Structure 1
């Protein structure tokens, strides 16, 4: 058998979702990265309870779609897998760059970057690789990429508010591993604040309402 794997580059198109309007009344722009299994248009609905005048939300869409369940009716998506991770990561980051260019966020707005579950890996890699300096970075129910080090975030302002939020009943995290991860993330991001909510592996809008 004489098989080989080759590589090509091509232009592709993807969607993303927004909530509310970006105008002179907007105080804060949120870029929110969903977890595995979501579509951005459903994920963004989780933020509908936050003030509609003050907040504008941008939800990028993970590029890989798949059918969920045995009935093949519901569609979910995934950001990355262990297959071809480095190249796929660069593709995703260029896609997020394109969103930022398209939205042209005014400099006078607060910027919050939020990653939920698998979305934490994209949010953190985008911040570190593009040297993004948000007003706040929110990590919810997700693991931090192992390859990232303290120097990857050395450019961040000390005033950047960094918050880690985890559900007390999250079935995906064992207490010992959570505590170990907290130590590692605290080393990477010394100003981080740890919070919990009483639920499970979910995004609780109440915990991000007053994040700034």
Structure 2
């Protein structure tokens, strides 16, 4: 069998979800990337404890949807190890469209880039691609892309804070992996990094979200 894999360009459409209303009273805008198995509209529930007048949350939607057994819920994922570079190019174009539509990053409000689980990798790669400024970068229970180096983040303002959050009982982590991710984060961000472990599994820590602002 003589098979050939070819590549084409085409126009795609995707949704994204928002929580609360952007207004003059808004103090903080969040760009929150969900983990594998989520849909953006359901991921927003973790941000409902925030002051609705002061916080506007934007949750992009991972493009690849699938059924989750056994109840056949619909979930989505951002990337796989197959054709990762091309997948990330598509995500960058999608994020570009959201940033243009929502006029991001904001000039007169605080801006938080939040990645949970698989959402960490796409959020961080996008930041580096366009040197996106933010007031806080939140790395929650996800792996930092191995290709990133400290020089990639030299553009960040000296006031930018970075939070590394993980559950000490996370079923996807062991002591070696925790040490590895912590060392990587320290190498990338140095003194601007705050490490926030919590007793728990691979779950979104709502208490920490509410404390970020």
What is the TM-score normalised by the length of structure 2? 0.96
Aligned to 2:37: 37
TM-superposition CA deviations, 1:97-156 (whole Å, max 9, x none)? 100101124410100000000000011101111100100000100010011111111111
Alignment of 1:162-201 (within 5 A): 162-190=162-190, 191-201=192-202
Question: How many residue pairs were aligned?
Answer: 211
SS of alignment partner, residue 211 of structure 2 = coil
Asked if 2 retains the 8 angstrom alpha-carbon contact of 1:197 and 1:207, the reply is no
User: Which 4+ residue blocks in structure 1 deviate beyond 3 angstroms?
Assistant: none
Distance 1:5 1:168 in 2: 43
Distance 2:103 2:158 in 1: 25
Structure 1 residues not aligned, in runs of 5+: none
Aligned to 2:80: 81
Asked if 2 retains the 8 angstrom alpha-carbon contact of 1:29 and 1:56, the reply is yes
SS of alignment partner, residue 157 of structure 1 = coil
Aligned to 2:53: 53
Asked if 1 retains the 8 angstrom alpha-carbon contact of 2:17 and 2:58, the reply is yes
- Shift in Å, 1:94: 1.1
TM-superposition CA deviations, 1:64-92 (whole Å, max 9, x none)? 00000034x31010000011000110100
Aligned to 2:127: 127
Aligned to 2:147: 147
Aligned to 1:210: 211
- Shift in Å, 1:32: 0.2
- Shift in Å, 1:189: 1.2
Aligned to 2:138: 138
Distance 2:32 2:74 in 1: 19
What is the TM-score normalised by the length of structure 1? 0.96
Structure 2 residues not aligned, in runs of 5+: none
Distance 2:109 2:90 in 1: 27
SS of alignment partner, residue 145 of structure 2 = coil
Alignment of 1:56-75 (within 5 A): 56-71=56-71, 73-75=72-74
Asked if 2 retains the 8 angstrom alpha-carbon contact of 1:120 and 1:139, the reply is yes
- Shift in Å, 1:208: 2.1
SS of alignment partner, residue 92 of structure 1 = helix
